[in-house]
Structure formats: structure tokens, C-alpha cells
């Protein structure tokens, strides 16, 4: 029996403001409990919320980046329920009038099974709204009581709600990853999933093709892409098994247990809260002017998809390279830094006519180095792009020396290793290590002449048709030059002289 | 000295006829004598008050005194004041010593005024007789068997009994004007947003507004000058130029158009109150005013609308009192839900619980549209009535309360009768307009009657002018109860 899977996501992103959404308390992670709980965070009698404009700006950025309509007027509402880590007894959120309306995000899906090909898909975003985070209940301390830490209370969140457009765990994960990249790219969220800056709730249901939507269950608070995939896989199978065994799915909220790999219901719809939403009388409706939107638009960086298109059309990169180089804004920035420094050197070294053909080659070399050596080395050292010990300009400077023939590829690798470990500019390292290729044709000719004279028998064999011996002569010549002979030049000269 | 105006007191302080310490001590002595009977104050803190008085004397000596420097002012116990027990009239906050100052308190502190004590009030400002206070009923100084009105009943009684030079109140549905009327003093509720609500414990946020209570319009102008002003900590605070509310006090009233809404003089109004108010209107005619008959047709809906909206907001505002972080927590409880239930059941009084239940109900799924949204629509109609009326008149006048002060316990078991005593004041809050009450004579049993003056938005200076001119021509505001 065939089953269709229907998945929608609600993602809570913590916005990267320094202070809370309704007060001046710090939002820094990891402080001693309650040291960042000011009067508003504690909800002392008489205190009032004042909206943080930075949070609104970040919401506007997100809306613009997903092609959504920014509401000129949106309203903060109170969501009422009792819980010890919710100090006011209500959460300030947005209900029927959110700040960001319908948008969309295009994702690249890599199917998990078999040899299916990657494909592109557009996921519709229903809305995104601003709200405040709750504090944390700290269970099971030494006195056996539950502690309350209100440092997180009032941290700004943007809750991003998708349409149920995803139909596999792979699509859900691809969407979550694309969203994760985007929010970091536009600088509205640090994306730190361990610290809870990016938390996903996944709504899952199954149905037989052609039937109406099945009853959904919501998997709460997934904070890793791996868990998300495991949780969805388990939940989907559980729902299918339940229905096939004659059972019914009841709407419920479930938690994923990474230790058992299972999902389990924490509350059913029967004990769902009546949140008694109503407009918060302490806050005026949020009015966003066209000028404000345009001002924010001016601060928006070029988005990953626009960059990918540009890398392919202007720099001649493959779509694959372009997608890897735009996996994060840091990588793209590094790539563009290298390419720009390289291009300016190429332009000053070669006349303009030659430059136009040299640039795609230079860009491709940069891409290869970053996707290859730089990434591998970062991985090995457990660093991220921002911690790369080599600057983009340094890498560009080194690649320039490959292009102009000063060093060979193997020489470049040595320069790279030295640069990584000890720092310094390529030219200084090349000089210090004597890595400059011999490009003096007179010197190479003399060297080749000597080899031909000393290996008369092999020369005869070559000339009688044993082409494979060419490599033998190259090896001898490289050895004699201590690896510094310009390989292209050496090839030409060897070929000519061996031909007699 | 106890009958002096704030201006006279300020002059006496500046000319060293009396020191702030002496003045403060004389009030503290009077309070010690009379408060046991009147119960106007919940908390006194002579150490803090006298320390402030000494600081004020130093400032007076330096010659950089403000008009209120050194003057003892009582604060309604709804304002958080650093180092002061701040109970809001509730057992729920019986142990809450505020770690911070409300904006109003800061303004008085900056002016060099002395905080004389925290005055009694209905629990969380919910009441019209001061009988819902956890700290005991306040007695009306004109007749201690009668209520002082509420919720700012402690303030009204303290001002009337000369237990302070002036004081603050808050008004959500009449809580400044009604007790002012019942105790024979003057009180002003400004336009919503003129005085910051920061640090004022919330009852119904969209209606709550703090204002001055004193013995004359002239005193109120000085107090409002100190209390008003933009505060970025309150998002509903209005960003306006600072104004001098005393600037128009002495303007003549020739040509002033006074609107009399026919709905304010209909069934339900006691004859004695009607008579006093009509006499006041006659006095205004003598002062050159023109009387215009107007109608506020939706006034009759203001009580039902108010008793949907105010409890709705209150049910949410009072959720923070859960026994977790501060305030009252039940001594014994089982699990978390039990702790909430017991703490709130024991910490809140009956009227507060009634309003939390009404508010929770009207916000509930399936009832929200029928009650809350409907009430919001009518609220706009009520405001529109006033906007239309102000095309024909400059100020609106009428009774503040349908009767004079009633007996303690008289309406205690009939909430609807109690709610009706705010029938003339509530619409003003719903519209966000400024309103005031000034004494205009005495009714049955020689109890004071209040005249309500309702102004257009931001027309406080004109209202104070209108009240002051009347007080120059009459002496009702100068009468004091015999104690």
C-alpha cells in the first residue's frame, strides 16, 4: 500500500539582538541563572514592555529575504497560560496579525535513498511572527526542587511557519537547513542549535494518495537535523503501522527521545490549552513604514541564490561549485575575497584582452582551493571559516603565483601548508623555501642537453617509438632541477630535443 | 497650616516659616492620632519620610527648590516605591517590598516632595467603596459609618481629613473622581497616556490612569505638573511637549460652553445630588458660561462594556501573581497546580476573584467574539458620542456619582448595585478622556456632593481653569470634616 507523507515546520529562531525583545536585559547565552533577569524578565508588579526595534528589523529582513509581504500594521497579543518559567502568566506573541506574511524558500533536496537525483523545490512560508521566549525550568537539583532560570525569558524569537509542503524527511531536513543557512546569512540569528537558537517543531501526517489530509502529530523542539530525520522516519512509520493495524491517529504533541529513537505523546488535544489570546493593551500596534522597509532592504546582503546564479553566469563556475561556495555567508565572503584579490592582480599582470579569458580560470582555481584544501584543513583542525588562519587575500596571492608560473602545483601545496601553520605571504614563503620554478629556457635547455647526452640508449629507444619513456626524462629533469623547472616549459623543450 | 494650599505651603517652606521636617512630623503626629479610626494608610515609614524631609530642607536652604520640594504627599499603594511595602490592597502582596520606583514616584522624588505614606485602596483597585481592601475598610472622615468611595478611598480620606497635603490616585472607571466626590475633595484623571503607568500595578491597562487628588484645582495643577510627561518605559505614554497646567487658572469663563448630557440627569440620580449639581451649574451661569443640552446616547452601555473589558485585561494582568517569584504563597500545597490554586485562592479576595473569572470567561474560545470584540466596538461608539458632543461644547458637566457616600456594608453583597455607582465616570475611561470631580455642596446627611467636569483630550489646563474659577466663587472645597 502506498502512503503519502505530509510535513510542515514551525521553526523558532532566536534573534541576535543584544537585549531582550521587551526590555534592556542582556540576551547572552550561558550566564549564571537569573543574572540577566531584570524587573521586566521577572515580571515584577507594575513593569511594562517596550518593543526592541532591532527585533523588528530582523523580522523585516527575513520577510524581504523570502519575498514576503511585511505587514504595515501588526499586533502583539497575549497568549495566556500558567507555567513557572512564564513569569507574567502570558507570553507576548502575535496572533491574527503577524509582522511577516506569506513568503517562500527554494531548497535543494538530496534524496536519502537509492540513486535518486538531487532536485529543487519551493516551500511556501505561511507567516513569521515575533514573540518572546520563556525562561527555563531546571529540574532535579540537589535539594530535589525545581529551579527557575529567567535569563532566557524575553529573548526575541521569530517563529517561522511553513505550509505542509514537504513530503519526505529529506525535504523537511533540506528546508530546515536552507532556513538555517538563510537566517545566519542575513544575520538575524546565530543558528546555534545546541544553545537552542534554532528549534524546530515538525507536524507530520500520512494519507493514502488522493485522500484528504490525515490527522497530524507535532514533534516538538528538535534541535539537530539528524534527530529531525530520525524523528520523522520513526513517526511516519508509527503512523502507517497504527493505521494499517486498524488504529486511528489522534492529534497530539510528541517528543523525540534520541536515546531510544522513538517519539512519544506528551499531551493530547483533549488537554490542549485555551490560550485566551487578546491584543496586548500595553503595546501599541506595530506600524512599519515603507521607508523603514526600504532602509532595511538597503542593509540586506546578496542572498545565496542570487550569488549562485552570478557565480555560474559571471565567473563560469559549475552549479555544484556555486552551491558549495554559498553554503554559508562566511564561505562565500572568503571565496569572493580571494577572487577579487586575484582578479586585481591578474588584471595588472596581463593585458586586458588576456584577462577576460584568464578570469574564469582564476575563479575556478580559487573554487578548487577553497572546496578542496581549505575545507579539508579546516575540518582537520576543527575550525570554521571565520577561524581560518589564512586570509582570503593571502590565498589569492598564492594562487596568483600558480597562474603566473612562479610555483608549480606541488610548490603551491607546500606554500599553503606553511602559510597555514606559520602564516606569512606567499611571495615571502616562496623566496624563503626556494620554491620558484625555473622558467629560464636557457637553463632548462642546458639541463635537457645534459640528460640527453648522458642517456643515449634511452634516447634511442624513445626515438624508435617507446613513447612511455617521456615520463622517465621528465623525472630526471625535475630531479636535476630540484623540482623547480616550469613543467610546461620543460615538456616543450624535452619534446623538441628528443625529437632530434 | 493643615488648611494651607500647596502654593502657601511652598512659600512657607521657602521663607523658612516652617521646615519640611517640622511639617512632615506634624502630619505624622496627626496620622498617628487619626489613622487608627480612619484607616486611610496601609504603610507608614517615618524614617524614610523624615530622611526625605531633611534632604528637602537642605535643597530649600540651597535655593534650588521646586514648587513641591518639602511637601508631604501620600501615595496610593498601587505605586511601586523603592524600599516601601507595596501591597495594592491585597494579601497577595502582603510582603512585597518594591525594589524600584514607579515613574510617578520618581517624578515626586525628583521634585523633592516627601513620601508621607502609602494609602489604602480597594484590592487591586477593584471596588467603589474601599471595602475590598485586605487591610480593612477606610472610613469616610465626614461620617465614619460611611464609605469613602473607591478605589482611591484611602487617598480621598487622607486628603479630606488633612492627613497629608495632597496625594495620588489612579482611575480605571472612576477611582479618583468617585472617592473625591464622596469625601468632598478635588481629583483629576488626566487624558489616557498623560501620566506614565510604569510602576503602577496594572488593573486594566487600556483604562488605568494616574492623577492627583487634593483640596483645590490650584493644588491639582501643581501636582499634575510634576506627574505628567513622556516616559519611554510606557509604550502608551504620549510624547507631548511639557506644559504648565496652571497657565490658564485665572482666565475668565465668559462664553464657556458647558454641555449637560441628559443621560446624566435621568433616572437613578438622587435628588440631593441633582440639587447640588444644578446649583453649581447656576453658579457657572453667573460666571458667564453658556449651558448647552447634549446627549451621550451610548452612556447606558458603558457599565456592561466596562465589565467585559476591564476584567478581561485584569484576568491576564493578575496572572503574574502566582506565588512563584514574590508575594503570597500558600504555606502548604501538593503539586504545581495545587500551589497555584491554593496561593491564588488564599491570596486574592472575593471581588478580585469574581473579576478574574468574568475576564477569563469573556476571553475564552467561543465567547471572545460575542463579548470582548463586541465590547471593543461599543467602546468606539461611546468615544464617538463624546467627539460629537465636543462640537457643541467646551466641557461637559454632571454629577460624579449618583448618590453621596453610602453606609459601610450597604452594597457589599450586591456587586451590580456597587458597579452602578460608577455609572457617570466609566464612559470617560472608555473614551480615554480627562475627567475631574470637585466639591459642589452637601446632600442628604450632610455628605459631600461632587461635580464632574469632563474635558476634551488634553484639555486638562482648561478643566483646571473651569474648576478654579468656581472655587474662587464658592468655598465648598474649603470645608473640612469635624474630627
Spatial separation of the C-alpha atoms in residues B19 and B56, rounded to whole Å:
9
Contact B122, B351 (CB under 8 A): yes
Query: CA B330, A40, B132: angle at the middle one, nearest 5?
Result: 45
Spatial separation of the C-alpha atoms in residues B387 and B59, rounded to whole Å:
45
The pLDDT score that the predictor gives to residue A355 is 45
Q: Which of A246, A268, A296 is the last residue of a domain?
A: A296
Say if residue A66 is in the same domain as residue A123.
Answer: yes
Question: Which residues have C-beta within 8 Å of that of residue A450, sequence separation ≥ 6?
Answer: A480
Spatial separation of the C-alpha atoms in residues A77 and A98, rounded to whole Å:
10
> Which of the two residues, A439 and A68, has the higher pLDDT score?
A68
Q: How does residue A272 score in pLDDT terms, banded at 50, 70 and 90? A: low
Contact B179, B187 (CB under 8 A): yes
Spatial separation of the C-alpha atoms in residues A133 and B92, rounded to whole Å:
26
Contact check, Cβ <8 Å, B99/A44: yes
Contact B91, B349 (CB under 8 A): yes
Low-confidence ranges of chain B (pLDDT < 70): none
Query: Please, how many CA atoms are within 13 Å of residue A96, restricted to the half-sphere of its CB?
Result: 5
Q: Virtual CA dihedral for B61, B67, B68, B71, nearest 10 degrees?
A: 60
**B380 in contact with chain A, both atoms CB, cutoff 8 A:** no
ipTM over 0.90: yes
Contact check, Cβ <8 Å, B363/A80: yes
Mutate to test the interface with B, among A22, A46, A93, A273 (most CBs of B within 10 A): A46
The pLDDT score that the predictor gives to residue A271 is 61
Which sign, positive or negative, has the C-alpha torsion B386, B433, B201, B175? negative
Say if residue A43 is in the same domain as residue A123.
Answer: yes
Contact check, Cβ <8 Å, A44/B80: yes
Using CB atoms and an 8 Å cut-off, which of residues 85-104 of chain B contact chain A? 86, 88, 93, 96, 98-100, 102
pLDDT > 70: percent of chain A: 95
* Total domains, chain A: 3
Spatial separation of the C-alpha atoms in residues B80 and A46, rounded to whole Å:
7
**A191 in contact with chain B, both atoms CB, cutoff 8 A:** no
The distance of A360 to chain B (nearest Cα, Å) reads: 56
Nearest alpha carbon to residue B465 among B217, B257, B258, B256? B217
Question: Which of A281-295, A349-363, B302-316, B368-382 bottoms out in mean pLDDT, i.e. has the lowest?
Answer: A349-363
Spatial separation of the C-alpha atoms in residues A27 and B51, rounded to whole Å:
38
Question: Which of A137-141, A400-404, B369-373, B402-406 bottoms out in mean pLDDT, i.e. has the lowest?
Answer: A137-141
Contact check, Cβ <8 Å, B100/A49: no
Nearest alpha carbon to residue A25 among A151, A188, A197, A137? A151
Contact check, Cβ <8 Å, B325/A284: no
Gyration radius (Cα) of chain B, Å: 21
**A355 in contact with chain B, both atoms CB, cutoff 8 A:** no
Residues forming beta bridges with residue A100, ordered by sequence position: A70, A128
φ, ψ of residue A160 to 5 degrees: the values are -110, 115
Using CB atoms and an 8 Å cut-off, which of residues 245-264 of chain A contact chain B? none
The pLDDT score that the predictor gives to residue A273 is 79
Nearest alpha carbon to residue A92 among B317, B340, B365? B317
The pLDDT score that the predictor gives to residue A114 is 66
Question: Which of A99-108, A405-414, B361-370 bottoms out in mean pLDDT, i.e. has the lowest?
Answer: A405-414
Pure H helices in B287-400 = 302-317, 336-347, 350-363, 374-389
Q: Of all helices (H) and strands (E), which one includes residue A335?
A: helix A329-349
- Taking one residue from A and the other from B, the number of pairs with CB-CB distance under 8 angstroms is 98
Spatial separation of the C-alpha atoms in residues B3 and A457, rounded to whole Å:
131
Mutate to test the interface with B, among A276, A283, A284, A287 (most CBs of B within 10 A): A276
Q: Which residues of B touch A40 (CB under 8 A)?
A: none
Nearest alpha carbon to residue B211 among B245, B234, B248? B245
The full length of chain B comes to: 483
Q: Which residues of B touch A274 (CB under 8 A)?
A: 364-365
CA of A147: which chain B residue's CA is closest? B324
CB atoms near residue B389 (< 10 Å) = 18
Spatial separation of the C-alpha atoms in residues B320 and B314, rounded to whole Å:
11
User: Which residue segments constitute the domains of chain B, with CATH numbers given?
Assistant: 6-249 (3.90.1300.10), 316-376 (no CATH)
Say if residue A257 is in the same domain as residue A328.
Answer: no
Q: Could you list the active site residues of B? A: 76, 151, 175
Contact B275, B397 (CB under 8 A): no
The pLDDT score that the predictor gives to residue B349 is 98
The pLDDT score that the predictor gives to residue B368 is 95
Contact check, Cβ <8 Å, A39/B99: yes
Contact check, Cβ <8 Å, A39/B316: no
Q: What is the value of pTM for the model shown? A: 0.90
| Facing residue for A88 by CB, picked from B319, B336, B364 | B319
Q: Which of A388, A411, A433 is the last residue of a domain?
A: A433
**A272 in contact with chain B, both atoms CB, cutoff 8 A:** no
Say if residue A359 is in the same domain as residue A451.
Answer: no
| Facing residue for A148 by CB, picked from B79, B86, B324 | B324
Spatial separation of the C-alpha atoms in residues B426 and B441, rounded to whole Å:
23
φ, ψ of residue B395 to 5 degrees: the values are -135, 160
Question: Which residues have C-beta within 8 Å of that of residue B105, sequence separation ≥ 6?
Answer: B75, B79, B80, B81, B82, B115, B199
B317-332 pLDDT per residue, tens: 999 999 999 999 999 9
Q: How does residue A98 score in pLDDT terms, banded at 50, 70 and 90? A: very high
Question: Which residues have C-beta within 8 Å of that of residue B338, sequence separation ≥ 6?
Answer: none
**B325 in contact with chain A, both atoms CB, cutoff 8 A:** yes
Domain that holds residue A476: 441-498
For residue B74, the SS3 value is strand
Say if residue A451 is in the same domain as residue A469.
Answer: yes
**B362 in contact with chain A, both atoms CB, cutoff 8 A:** no
Q: DSSP letters along A88-143, please?
A: TSEEEEE-SS-SB--EEEEEEE--SSTTPPPEEEEEEEEEEEEEE---EEE---TT
Say if residue A394 is in the same domain as residue A453.
Answer: no
Say if residue A142 is in the same domain as residue A260.
Answer: yes
Q: Which residues of B touch A278 (CB under 8 A)?
A: 312-313, 316, 363, 368, 372
| Facing residue for B235 by CB, picked from A44, A90, A283 | A283
- Rounded mean pLDDT of chain A? 90
pLDDT at A270 over 60: no
Say if residue A411 is in the same domain as residue A317.
Answer: yes
Which sign, positive or negative, has the C-alpha torsion B291, B292, B293, B297? negative
Contact check, Cβ <8 Å, A42/B319: no
- CATH number, position A468: 1.10.10.410
pLDDT at A269 over 60: no
Residues forming beta bridges with residue A10, ordered by sequence position: A161, A201
DSSP structure class, residue A19:
B
Q: Are strands A262-268 and A147-149 parallel, antiparallel or unpaired?
A: unpaired
The distance of B57 to chain A (nearest Cα, Å) reads: 31
Q: Which residues of B touch A45 (CB under 8 A)?
A: 80, 86, 88, 93, 96, 98, 201-202, 320-321
**A78 in contact with chain B, both atoms CB, cutoff 8 A:** yes
Q: Is the peptide bond before B374 cis (omega within 30 degrees of 0)?
A: no
**A274 in contact with chain B, both atoms CB, cutoff 8 A:** yes
The pLDDT score that the predictor gives to residue A467 is 82
For residue B32, the SS3 value is helix
Q: Which of A240, A274, A296 is the last residue of a domain?
A: A296
Average pLDDT over residues A399-406: 84
Sheet holding A76-80: strands in order across? Answer: A90-94, A76-80, A278-279
Say if residue A325 is in the same domain as residue A269.
Answer: no
Say if residue A314 is in the same domain as residue A456.
Answer: no
Spatial separation of the C-alpha atoms in residues A60 and A293, rounded to whole Å:
7
Question: Which of A296-300, A440-444, B187-191, B444-448 bottoms out in mean pLDDT, i.e. has the lowest?
Answer: A440-444
For residue A438, the SS3 value is strand
Q: Which residues of A touch B316 (CB under 8 A)?
A: 78, 80, 89-90, 276, 278
Say if residue A346 is in the same domain as residue A421.
Answer: yes
Say if residue A279 is in the same domain as residue A335.
Answer: no
Q: Of all helices (H) and strands (E), which one includes residue B435?
A: strand B435-442
Amino acid at each position: 500500500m502506498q502512503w503519502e507523507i505530509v510535513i510542515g515546520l514551525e521553526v523558532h529562531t532566536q534573534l541576535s539582538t543584544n537585549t531582550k525583545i521587551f526590555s534592556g536585559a542582556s540576551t547572552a547565552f550561558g550566564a549564571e541563572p537569573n543574572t540577566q533577569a531584570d524587573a521586566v524578565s521577572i515580571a515584577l508588579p507594575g513593569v511594562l514592555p517596550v518593543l526592541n526595534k532591532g527585533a523588528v528589523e530582523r523580522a523585516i529582513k527575513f520577510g524581504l529575504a523570502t519575498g514576503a509581504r511585511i505587514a504595515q500594521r501588526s499586533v502583539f497579543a497575549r497568549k495566556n497560560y500558567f507555567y513557572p518559567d512564564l513569569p507574567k502568566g502570558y507570553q507576548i506573541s502575535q496572533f491574527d496579525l503577524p509582522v511577516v506574511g506569506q513568503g517562500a524558500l527554494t531548497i535543494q533536496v538530496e534524496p536519502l535513498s537509492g540513486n535518486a537525483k538531487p532536485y529543487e523545490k519551493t516551500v511556501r512560508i505561511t507567516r513569521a511572527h515575533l514573540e518572546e521566549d520563556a525562561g527555563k525550568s531546571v529540574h532535579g537539583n540537589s535539594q530535589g526542587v525545581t529551579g527557575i532560570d529567567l535569563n532566557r525569558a524575553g529573548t526575541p524569537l521569530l517563529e517561522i511557519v511553513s505550509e505542509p509542503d514537504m513530503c519526505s524527511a529529506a525535504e523537511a531536513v533540506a528546508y530546515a537547513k536552507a532556513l538555517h543557512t538563510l537566517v545566519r546569512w542575513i544575520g538575524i540569528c546565530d543558528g546555534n542549535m545546541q544553545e537552542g537558537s534554532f528549534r524546530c517543531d515538525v507536524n507530520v501526517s500520512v494519507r493514502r494518495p488522493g485522500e484528504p489530509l490525515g490527522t497530524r502529530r507535532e514533534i516538538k523542539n528538535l534541535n539537530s537535523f539528524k534527530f529531525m530525520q530520525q524523528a520523522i522516519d520513526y513517526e511516519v512509520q508509527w503512523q502507517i503501522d497504527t493505521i494499517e493495524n486498524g488504529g486511528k491517529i489522534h492529534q497530539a504533541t510528541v517528543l523525540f527521545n534520541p536515546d531510544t529513537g522513538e517519539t512519544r505523546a506528551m499531551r493530547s488535544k483533549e488537554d490542549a490549552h485555551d490560550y485566551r489570546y487578546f491584543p496586548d493593551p500595553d503595546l501599541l500596534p506595530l506600524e512599519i513604514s515603507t521607508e523603514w522597509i526600504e532602509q532595511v532592504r538597503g542593509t540586506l546582503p546578496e542572498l545565496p541564490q542570487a550569488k549562485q546564479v552570478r557565480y555560474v553566469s559571471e565567473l563560469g563556475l559549475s552549479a555544484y561549485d556555486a552551491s558549495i561556495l554559498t553554503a554559508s555567508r562566511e564561505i562565500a565572503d572568503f571565496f569572493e575575497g580571494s577572487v577579487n584579490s586575484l582578479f586585481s592582480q591578474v588584471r595588472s599582470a596581463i593585458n586586458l584582452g588576456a584577462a577576460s579569458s584568464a578570469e574564469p580560470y582564476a575563479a575556478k582555481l580559487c573554487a578548487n582551493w577553497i572546496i578542496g584544501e581549505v575545507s579539508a584543513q579546516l575540518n582537520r583542525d576543527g575550525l570554521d571559516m571565520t577561524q581560518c588562519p589564512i586570509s582570503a587575500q593571502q590565498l589569492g596571492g598564492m594562487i596568483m603565483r600558480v597562474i603566473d608560473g612562479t610555483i608549480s602545483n606541488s610548490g603551491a601545496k607546500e606554500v599553503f601548508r606553511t602559510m597555514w601553520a606559520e602564516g606569512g605571504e606567499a611571495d615571502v614563503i616562496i623566496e624563503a623555501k626556494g620554491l620558484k620554478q625555473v622558467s629560464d629556457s636557457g637553463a632548462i635547455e642546458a639541463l635537457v642537453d645534459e640528460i640527453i647526452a648522458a642517456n643515449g640508449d634511452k634516447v634511442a629507444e624513445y626515438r624508435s617509438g617507446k613513447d612511455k619513456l617521456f615520463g622517465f626524462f621528465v623525472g630526471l629533469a625535475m630531479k636535476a632541477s630540484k623540482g623547480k623547472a616550469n613543467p610546461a616549459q620543460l615538456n616543450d623543450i624535452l619534446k623538441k630535443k628528443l625529437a632530434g | 497650616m493643615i488648611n494651607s494650599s500647596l502654593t502657601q505651603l511652598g512659600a512657607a517652606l521657602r521663607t523658612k516659616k516652617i521646615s519640611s521636617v517640622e511639617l512632615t512630623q506634624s502630619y505624622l503626629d496627626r496620622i498617628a492620632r487619626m489613622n487608627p479610626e480612619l484607616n486611610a494608610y496601609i504603610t507608614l515609614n517615618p524614617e524614610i519620610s523624615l530622611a526625605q524631609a531633611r534632604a528637602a530642607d537642605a535643597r530649600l536652604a540651597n535655593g534650588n527648590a521646586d514648587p513641591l520640594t518639602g511637601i508631604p504627599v501620600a501615595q496610593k499603594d498601587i505605586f511601586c516605591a523603592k524600599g516601601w511595602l507595596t501591597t495594592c490592597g491585597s494579601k497577595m502582596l502582603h510582603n512585597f517590598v518594591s525594589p524600584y520606583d514607579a515613574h510617578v514616584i520618581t517624578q515626586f522624588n525628583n521634585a523633592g516632595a516627601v513620601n508621607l505614606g502609602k494609602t489604602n485602596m480597594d484590592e487591586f483597585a477593584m471596588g467603589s467603596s474601599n471595602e475590598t481592601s485586605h487591610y480593612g475598610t477606610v472610613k469616610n472622615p465626614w461620617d465614619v459609618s460611611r464609605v469613602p468611595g473607591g478605589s482611591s478611598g484611602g487617598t480621598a480620606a487622607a486628603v479630606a481629613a488633612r492627613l497629608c497635603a495632597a496625594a495620588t490616585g489612579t482611575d480605571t472607571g472612576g477611582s479618583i473622581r468617585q472617592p473625591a466626590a464622596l469625601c468632598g475633595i478635588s481629583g483629576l484623571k488626566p487624558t489616557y497616556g498623560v501620566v506614565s503607568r510604569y510602576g503602577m500595578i496594572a488593573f486594566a491597562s487600556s483604562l488605568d490612569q494616574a492623577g492627583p487628588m487634593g483640596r483645590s484645582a490650584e493644588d491639582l495643577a501643581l501636582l499634575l505638573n510634576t506627574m505628567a510627561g513622556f516616559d519611554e518605559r510606557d509604550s502608551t505614554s504620549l510624547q507631548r511637549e511639557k506644559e504648565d497646567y496652571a497657565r490658564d487658572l485665572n482666565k475668565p469663563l465668559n462664553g464657556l460652553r458647558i454641555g449637560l448630557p441628559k443621560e446624566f440627569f435621568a433616572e437613578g440620580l438622587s435628588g440631593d445630588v441633582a440639587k447640588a449639581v444644578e446649583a453649581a451649574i447656576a453658579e457657572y451661569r453667573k460666571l458667564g458660561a453658556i449651558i448647552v443640552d447634549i446627549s451621550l446616547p451610548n452612556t447606558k452601555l458603558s457599565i456592561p462594556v466596562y465589565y467585559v473589558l476591564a476584567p478581561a485585561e485584569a484576568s491576564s494582568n493578575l496572572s503574574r501573581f502566582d506565588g512563584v517569584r514574590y508575594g503570597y504563597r500558600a504555606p502548604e500545597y501538593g503539586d504545581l497546580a495545587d500551589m497555584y490554586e491554593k496561593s491564588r485562592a488564599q491570596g486574592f479576595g472575593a471581588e478580585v476573584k469574581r473579576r478574574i473569572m468574568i475576564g477569563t470567561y469573556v476571553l475564552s474560545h467561543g465567547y471572545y467574539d460575542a463579548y470582548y470584540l463586541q465590547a471593543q466596538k461599543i467602546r468606539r461608539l461611546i468615544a464617538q458620542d463624546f467627539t460629537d458632543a465636543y462640537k457643541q461644547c467646551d466641557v461637559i458637566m454632571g454629577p460624579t456619582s449618583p448618590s453621596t457616600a453610602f453606609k459601610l456594608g450597604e452594597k457589599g453583597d450586591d456587586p451590580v448595585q456597587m458597579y452602578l455607582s460608577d455609572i457617570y465616570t466609566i464612559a470617560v475611561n472608555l473614551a480615554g478622556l480627562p475627567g475631574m470631580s470637585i466639591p459642589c455642596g452637601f446632600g442628604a446627611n450632610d455628605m459631600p456632593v461632587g461635580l464632574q467636569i469632563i474635558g476634551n483630550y488634553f484639555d486638562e489646563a482648561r478643566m483646571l481653569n473651569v474648576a478654579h474659577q468656581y472655587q474662587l466663587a464658592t468655598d465648598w472645597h474649603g470645608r473640612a470634616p469635624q474630627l
